[in-house]
Amino acid sequence: MGNALTDVLAMLNSDELLREMNLPKGSMTLIDEKKLQSVNQYINRMPVHMALGGSAGNSVRAMACLGAQTGFIGKVGTDEYGDFYRKSLHERNITDHLLLSAQLPSGVASTFISLDGERTFGTYLGAAAAMKATELSLEMFKGYSYFYVEGYIVQDHDLMLRAIELAKEAGLQVCIDLASYNIVAGERDFFGLLLNKYVDIVFANEEEAKSFTGKEPQEALDVLGKMCSVAVVKVGAKGSLIRKGTKTVHVDAIPVSVVKDTTGAGDYFAAGFLYGLTCGFSLEKCGKIGALLAGNVIQVVGAELTDNCWEEIKTQINSL
């Protein structure tokens, strides 16, 4: 479950544009409709690529491409972007009847990719933020093993709590990605409540982990590992650290010669890791699958891989 956003991706020749738009490099900044119009003035001057997006949307699509049975809970408008999102889910055999509709413009993530591959989001939530706790039902969660929710929807406490409680009632393990470091800083207490009381598996990159714990990756992993059954801290090119109980596993990142765009890297890691869990693989193999997916997606612009690439990834998974 997450914000149903269509990614509109643009490559930057210089980070000066980010300063002009007042978007901190590497962050996810929520913008209103007025700010979206201002951002669009820049985007309209650049070549763009449109793709199904949102953090959880990226993850569920990647899992579906590996062959997992998936569904997605979100909300879109009855417009071009909404139609695009629903069609994109359907094409990947992702259960789309859980996608709700609103009489609002669909959410859009204006994604600016710097020359070093770092991505910066100016996110207009629109219909995505109109999803309410009262619209969720127990039936939505039945028939699944894991409930993966993105931290980007944490501002709506009622929605997040209702979803997690329904998932638990349906017997699902709850997995959460902590989202952007600035969101973690603003919602630290609520994240703490969720991790201590509900969450089974937590994903964070090193900036998010530090924002939550105030500590460097290894110590942050120790803190998170005491709160959840499984904790994962991603450390970029250094790979990932995984903790379950007293066991810690370090998984290397795959070698990549050129990083084109880091959009979706964390989402794809989570997808690979969770896919491994559904297959009953060890934590180390789950981490390796996550690293394989993340390493592939950062070599392309956007968070989409070709069918041929997915077939190659499946072959590599079988050989792990």
Q: Which two tokens stand for residue 218?
A: 């290894």
Contact 149, 160 (CB under 8 A): yes
Has residue 280 got a pLDDT over 80?
Answer: yes
CA dist., res. 136 & res. 159, Å (int): 8
**How far, rounded to the nearest angstrom, does the alpha carbon of residue 233 sit from its chain's CA centroid?**
14
Query: Which of 57, 60, 59 shows the shortest CA–CA distance to 82?
Result: 57
What percentage of the chain has pLDDT greater than the value 90?
81
Q: How many angstroms separate the Cα of 89 from the Cα of each of 162, 175, 208? A: 24, 21, 28
Domain boundaries, the chain: 5-319
Residue whose structure tokens are 């972007």: 81
Strand partners for 202 = 176, 231
How many helices and strands (H and E) does the chain possess? Answer: 12, 13
Sign, Cα dihedral of 69, 72, 73, 78: negative
Residue whose structure tokens are 């592939």: 296
Sign, Cα dihedral of 104, 90, 109, 9: negative
Q: E strands, the chain, where?
A: 5-11, 28-30, 48-53, 74-77, 99-102, 107-113, 119-124, 146-150, 173-177, 201-205, 230-234, 240-244, 247-251
pLDDT classification of 237: cutoffs 50, 70, 90: very high
Has residue 49 got a pLDDT over 90?
Answer: no
pLDDT at 246: 93
Contact 263, 116 (CB under 8 A): no
CA dist., res. 209 & res. 218, Å (int): 10
Query: How large is the average pLDDT for residues 285-306?
Result: 94
Task: For residue range 82-140, list pLDDT tens digits in order.
Answer: 999 999 999 999 998 899 999 998 999 999 999 988 889 899 999 999 999 999 999 99
pLDDT at 96: 80
Task: For residue range 250-271, list pLDDT tens digits in order.
Answer: 999 999 988 888 878 999 999 9
pLDDT at 260: 86
Query: Which of 153, 150, 225, 155 shows the shortest CA–CA distance to 187?
Result: 155
CA dist., res. 220 & res. 208, Å (int): 10
Q: Which two tokens stand for residue 224?
A: 């998170």
Has residue 155 got a pLDDT over 80?
Answer: yes
Has residue 302 got a pLDDT over 80?
Answer: no
CATH architecture of 5-319: 3-Layer(aba) Sandwich (3.40)
pLDDT at 179: 85
- Report yes or no on whether pTM surpasses 0.85: yes
Residue positions counted in the chain: 320
